[in-house]
């Protein structure tokens, strides 16, 4: 592979990889849920119905349009296939609604089997469900983005269940279909559309102080980012260099070819001139002169300078007084 | 009548500077005078030191509170002018001017020099770690560390967000060390290089086409701002200014950005930052520590740049080798650091002109420090 393509490929790959890591529905969590809602959070119609809270753990906006909410994942393998049927208890977050979740934001969906009530109302309700979990599935119907298995007693209590620390889960355990103990639990307070961490809030600064007391971690990450940014510019400049060198080589080659061409034409002309005698050349010259001369009108060849009078004004100029399209 | 005269005079005196003067004010006024003297006599960054020095004098004229004259008093004229520092909109305007003044050709023609600009940013994070060890909070440590970027506007921008109470000390420290680049850097450069290394001759840079110069700011803003959006105010203005310069069709805008606009903002920023160093806020043990840490970060930044070049040379052959005397230019004090490289280089070989080569890491340092500032903000703000 030519080096230029290597560089271009690296830049594009870097963009693609960082973009794919940056904006991902994989950052979504089913953060909190309430199944028995008697006098708690009400929907826009004032009804107290089961709800689930989705949390965007990422620090960028995530589009959740097309993802599915369900309490029945049995059709996962089928639905993911081309032309696969979408199971009845899968609620597709409407594609005609642009549902962008800003960084670290929460969004509530009501599980009331009333999709006609609006985009935030699912087509199933856990009260009628045989299972006791809620799942969030990717828009292609293939991936389980998050699944929260709740205790059966949640159906009989007016408490909420969810992540003790907002959206924090062990990715390794989740891949194996397990959960770390204490990751999910009954929550001491119900906090729809807000953080589950209701205890003493740790500021960003204190958190940094706790997690990285000597600043070495941050220093390493920061230096890595600075180098990455400048290496990306370095790669770009290398591409510039390559293109510029190629352009220079090309223009040089063209110049040389043009020079060679001129030299060839010149030598051919010289040979022709040598062959023709001077009288012939003079005759041709006269003929050409007469020919081109006859193409023009006869001019008086007298040049005059008309000095403007003392009272000259462009308003008096004849051409300015004429209409653009004179009529007869 | 005499009693009234005496009382009136005493009252007037109590309002005057003489009545409110403390040792702190006198010390600060002396510091201001030293700054002005350094600027005028020694010509160390006069465009910065003279306004800052005069600002220090203005800010330390003693007065009674409530007269609405001090930089920290609501409604005072100086307070309005200081608004641009507090809210951080002067630094991006200065970056616009820097962009419109800077020629990135040296960097475009020799791209590997950009990595020196990245290495020199280590000074920022070394100072951050040290400040944490000395008991500063992470936000304060970040604001202090940025002094190592050797970029006054960036230091003001970051400290206005992370540690506003320390901004005066940080800004004065940053600008002082920028002015003292010709004094601080040469001993470090000499200590870390061998006589043979100082004689390395670098390949002359190739001619850079107009198209490359126009594409450079656009590509750079896309690459850097996507990675560190928090650095957007600085990076965006820097590359916008450069596009105005290089496009060739916006000469009037480029002239304004690099001339009158940057001059006006420099006057305002210098004067108000100087005025913000009121003795009551400035003369504290923390300020002394900030100055010490600032010097430390500057030294580390310079050493990192030089050592990185030496390390880089292990992988380079022939005329591709880089003279380590341009490593100091990785800090973003443009063009002073590059000038130091030239002067030092000519001490050992009169015919070795390192200025154009040093401008590469120097402008890379501007980009690097803006990126580092963005990272600090994303972590700490």
| Among the listed residues A220, A211, A217, A222, the one whose alpha carbon sits nearest the alpha carbon of residue B158 | A222
Residue A307 confidence class, pLDDT cut points 50, 70, 90 = low
Range of the domain at B240: 85-380
Query: Considering only residues 235 to 264 of chain A, which have any Cβ-Cβ distance to chain B shorter than 8 Å?
Result: 236-238, 240-241, 244, 247
Residue B152 placed within a domain: yes
Put simply, whether A210 touches B (Cβ < 8 Å) is no
Task: Verify whether the Cβ–Cβ distance A229 to B117 is below 8 Å.
Answer: no
What pLDDT score does B178 carry?
84
Q: How many Cβ atoms sit within 10 Å of the Cβ of residue B149?
A: 31
pLDDT band at B258 (very low <50, low <70, confident <90, very high): very high
Q: Is A15 on the interface with B (CB under 8 A)?
A: yes
Residue B15 lies in a domain: no
User: What pLDDT shows up at residue A296?
Assistant: 61
Pairwise CA distance, residues A25 & A230, whole Å: 29
User: How many CA atoms within 13 Å lie on the side-chain side of B359?
Assistant: 15
Of A119-128, A302-311, B147-156, minimum mean pLDDT range = A302-311
Distance (Å) from the alpha carbon of B7 to chain A's nearest alpha carbon: 54
Which tens digits make up the pLDDT trace of B124-157? 999 999 999 998 989 999 999 988 877 888 898 8
CB contacts, 8 Å: B109 with chain A? 241
Q: Given pLDDT bands bounded at 50, 70 and 90, which one contains residue A2?
A: low
Task: Judge: B368–A230 Cβ closer than 8 Å, yes or no.
Answer: yes
Which chain B residue lies closest to A210 (C-alpha atoms)?
B138
Beginning with the edge strand found earlier in the chain, give each strand of the sheet holding A51-56 in spatial order: A106-110, A51-56, A28-34, A161-163, A184-186
Q: What is the mean pLDDT of residues B71-99?
A: 89
Q: Do A218 and B125 touch (CB under 8 A)?
A: yes
Contact B228 A223 (CB under 8 A): no
Give B209-253 pLDDT, tens digit per residue. 888 899 999 989 988 888 888 888 889 999 999 999 999 999 999
Q: Tokens 């298995």 belong to which residue?
A: A149
Residue with tokens 């906090």: A191
Mutation pick from A18, A216, A222 vs chain B, by most beta carbons of B within 10 Å, is A222
Band of residue A224 on the pLDDT scale cut at 50, 70, 90: very high
Residues of B in contact with A216 (CB under 8 A): 129
B101 within a domain of the structure (yes/no): yes
What pLDDT score was predicted for residue A328? 57
CA dihedral of B106, B322, B176, B160, whole degrees rounded to 10? 70
Compute CA distances A267 → A255, A277, B222, whole Å.
18, 17, 54
Q: E strands within B24-150?
A: none
Looking at chain A, which residue has its C-alpha nearest residue B117?
A: A230
- B99 contacts B236 by C-beta, under 8 angstroms: no
Token pair, residue A313, equals: 């004004």
Tell me whether residue B93 is in a domain.
yes
pLDDT at B2 over 80: no
Chain A residues with CB under 8 Å of B108 CB are 237, 240-241
Report the pLDDT value the prediction gives residue B124, as an integer from 0 to 100: 92
Q: Which of A210, A219, A233 to mutate to test the interface with B (most CBs of B within 10 A)?
A: A233
- Residue of B145, B227, B370 to mutate, interface with A, max A Cβ within 10 Å: B227
pLDDT tens track for B46-63 = 888 899 999 999 989 888
Tens of pLDDT, residue by residue over A165-181, are 888 888 888 888 888 88
Mean pLDDT of A105-120: 91
Contacts of A207 in chain B (CB under 8 A): none
Residue bearing the bigger pLDDT, A146 or A322: A146
Q: How many C-beta neighbours within 10 Å does residue B63 have?
A: 16
Which residue among A205, A219, A233 sits closest to B129, beta carbon to beta carbon?
A219
B356 in any annotated domain: yes
Contact at CB, B372 and A222, closer than 8 angstroms? yes
Distance from CA of A253 to the nearest CA of B (A): 18
Report whether pLDDT(A22) > 80: no
Structural domain includes residue B170: yes
> Could B129 and A215 be called an inter-chain contact, meaning their C-beta atoms sit closer than 8 Å?
yes
Residue of B nearest to A60 (CA): B229
Q: Residue B319: is its pLDDT beyond 90?
A: no
pLDDT at A18: 61
With cut-offs at 50, 70 and 90, classify the pLDDT of residue A206.
confident
Total beta-carbon pairs less than 8 A apart between chain A and chain B: 112
3-state secondary structure of B353: coil
Residue A174, number of CB atoms within 10 A of its CB: 15
Compare A137 and A241 and report the one with higher pLDDT: A137
Q: Which residues are within 8 A (CB) of A31 and not within 5 positions of it... i.e. 6 or more apart? A: A53, A54, A55, A106, A162, A163, A166, A167, A196
Residues from chain B that touch A218, judged by Cβ atoms under 8 A, are 125, 128, 138, 379
Chain A positions touching B379 (Cβ under 8 A) are: 208, 218, 221-222
Contacts of B112 in chain A (CB under 8 A): 234
Q: Quick one: average pLDDT of A312-328? A: 63
How many independent structural domains does chain B possess?
1
**Nearest CA of chain A to the CA of B378: how many Å?**
10
Q: Which of B146, B379, B380, B381 to mutate to test the interface with A (most CBs of A within 10 A)?
A: B379
- Phi and psi at residue A82, to the nearest 5°: -65, 125
8 Å CB contact of B224 and A237 = no
Residue B265's pLDDT band (cuts 50, 70, 90): very high
- What is the predicted pLDDT for the residue at A316? 63
Of B121, B137, B219, the CB nearest to A236: B219
Domain boundaries, chain A: 23-201, 205-263
pLDDT tens-digit profile of A34-75?
998 888 889 889 999 999 999 998 877 888 888 999 988 887
Q: What is the SS3 assignment for B251-295?
A: HHHHHHHHHHHHHHHHHHHHHHHHHCCCHHHHCCHHHHHHHHHHH
Cβ atoms within 10 Å of B351's Cβ, excluding its own: 7
Q: Average pLDDT of chain B?
A: 89
B-chain CB neighbours of A203 within 8 Å are none
Question: Quick one: closest CA in A to B214, which residue?
Answer: A240
Of A198-202, A261-265, A296-300, B279-283, which range is least confident? A296-300
């Amino acid at each position: 592979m030519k080096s230029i393509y290597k560089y271009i490929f690296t830049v594009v790959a870097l963009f693609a990889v960082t973009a794919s890591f940056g904006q991902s529905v994989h950052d979504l969590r089913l953060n909190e849920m309430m199944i028995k809602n008697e006098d708690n959070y009400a929907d826009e119609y004032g009804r107290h119905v089961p709800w689930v809270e989705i949390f965007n753990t990422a620090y960028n906006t995530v589009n959740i349009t097309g993802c599915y909410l369900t309490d029945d994942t049995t059709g996962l393998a089928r639905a993911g296939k081309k032309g696969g049927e979408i199971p009845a208890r899968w609620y597709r977050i409407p594609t005609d609604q642009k549902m962008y979740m800003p960084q670290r934001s929460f969004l509530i969906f009501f599980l009331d089997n009333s999709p006609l009530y609006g985009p935030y109302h699912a087509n199933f309700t856990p009260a009628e469900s045989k299972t006791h979990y809620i799942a969030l599935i990717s828009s292609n119907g293939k991936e389980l983005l998050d699944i929260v298995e709740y205790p059966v007693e949640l159906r009989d209590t007016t408490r909420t269940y969810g992540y003790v620390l907002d959206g924090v889960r062990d990715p390794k355990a989740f891949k194996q279909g397990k959960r770390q103990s204490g990751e999910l639990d009954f929550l001491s307070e119900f906090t729809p559309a807000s953080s589950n961490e209701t205890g003493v809030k740790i500021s960003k600064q204190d958190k940094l102080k706790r997690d990285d007391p000597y600043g070495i971690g941050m220093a390493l990450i920061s230096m890595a980012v600075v180098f990455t940014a400048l290496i990306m510019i370095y790669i770009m400049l290398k591409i510039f260099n390559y293109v510029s060198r190629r352009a220079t080589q090309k223009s040089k080659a063209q110049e040389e070819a043009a020079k060679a061409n001129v030299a060839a034409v010149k030598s051919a002309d010289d040979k022709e001139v040598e062959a023709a005698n001077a009288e012939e050349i003079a005759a041709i010259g006269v003929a050409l002169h007469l020919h081109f001369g006859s193409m023009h009108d006869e001019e008086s060849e007298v040049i005059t300078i008309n000095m403007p009078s003392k009272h000259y004004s462009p308003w008096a100029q004849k051409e300015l007084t004429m209409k653009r399209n004179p009529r007869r | 009548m005499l009693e009234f005269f005496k009382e009136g005079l005493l009252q007037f005196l109590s309002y005057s500077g003489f009545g409110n003067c403390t040792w702190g004010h006198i010390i600060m006024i002396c510091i201001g005078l030293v700054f002005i003297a350094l600027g005028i006599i020694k010509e160390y960054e006069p465009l910065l030191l003279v306004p800052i020095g005069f600002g220090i004098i203005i800010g330390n004229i003693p007065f009674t509170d409530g007269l609405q004259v001090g930089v920290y008093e609501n409604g005072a004229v100086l307070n309005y002018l200081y608004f641009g520092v507090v809210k951080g909109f002067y630094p991006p305007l200065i970056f616009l001017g820097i962009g419109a003044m800077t020629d990135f050709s040296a960097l475009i023609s020799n791209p590997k020099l950009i990595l020196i600009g990245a290495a020199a940013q280590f000074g920022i994070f070394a100072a951050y770690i040290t400040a944490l060890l000395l008991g500063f909070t992470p936000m304060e440590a970040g604001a202090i560390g940025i002094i190592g970027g050797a970029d006054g506007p960036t230091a003001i921008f970051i400290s206005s967000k992370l540690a506003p109470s320390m901004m005066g000390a940080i800004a004065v420290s940053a600008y002082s060390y920028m002015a003292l680049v010709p004094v601080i850097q040469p001993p470090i450069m000499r200590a870390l290089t061998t006589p043979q290394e100082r004689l390395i001759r670098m390949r002359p840079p190739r001619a850079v086409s107009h198209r490359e110069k126009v594409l450079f700011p656009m590509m750079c803003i896309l690459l850097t701002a996507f990675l560190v959006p928090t650095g957007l105010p600085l990076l965006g203005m820097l590359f916008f200014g450069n596009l105005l310069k290089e496009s060739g069709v916006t000469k009037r805008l480029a002239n304004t950005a690099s001339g009158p606009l940057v001059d006006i903002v420099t006057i305002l920023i210098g004067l108000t930052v100087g005025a913000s160093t009121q003795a009551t806020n400035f003369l504290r043990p923390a300020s002394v520590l900030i100055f010490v840490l600032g010097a430390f970060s500057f030294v580390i930044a310079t050493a990192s740049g030089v050592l990185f070049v030496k390390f880089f040379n292990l992988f380079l052959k022939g005329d591709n080798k880089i003279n380590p005397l341009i490593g100091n230019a990785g800090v973003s004090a443009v063009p002073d650091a590059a000038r130091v490289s030239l002067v030092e280089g000519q001490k050992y070989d009169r015919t070795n002109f390192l200025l154009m080569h040093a401008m590469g890491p120097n402008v890379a340092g501007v980009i690097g420090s803006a990126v580092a500032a963005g990272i600090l903000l994303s972590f700490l703000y």
